[in-house]
Amino acid sequence: MSFLRNLIALLAAVVIVWFAVVNRQLVTLSFWPLTGIGDDGTFQLPLFAMLLIGVFLGAIIGGIAVWASDHGRRVEYRQLRRQAQAQDIRHRVEEQRQEEEALERSRRRQEALALAAPQRR
């Protein structure tokens, strides 16, 4: 599996480098609301840079969208984890209480047997 993943990553890197070498010509990107501000609101970058910036920004925006949409599940997970921890604590306290009661019953039985047994001299 690791070999296949490395092979796919290598092929992707080769395709990206090939694309960058083939598409070095400059393209102009203009932002409509920014026209008239400064140097006319345009940028000139190589085509591959524009594409890679777009892919990078898309990945960031997509990651933020996934993170935001998963908020409800994270909240539910935290609540369930807290409930499980509280239940675990209650269970441990109950076990400890039962153990202490058993020890107390055992101590009382031993005292009762010691009082009931005839004393040898």
Exposure string (b/e) for 47-61, b if CB count within 10 Å is 16 or more? ebebbeeeeeeeeee
Domain boundaries, the chain: 20-69, 72-121
For 44-54, how does the pLDDT look when each residue is reduced to its tens digit (9 = 90+)? 888 888 888 88
Residue 3, pLDDT above cutoff 70: yes
Region 62-89: what's the mean pLDDT?
94
pTM more than 0.75: no
* Per-residue pLDDT tens over the stretch 6-19: 999 999 989 988 98
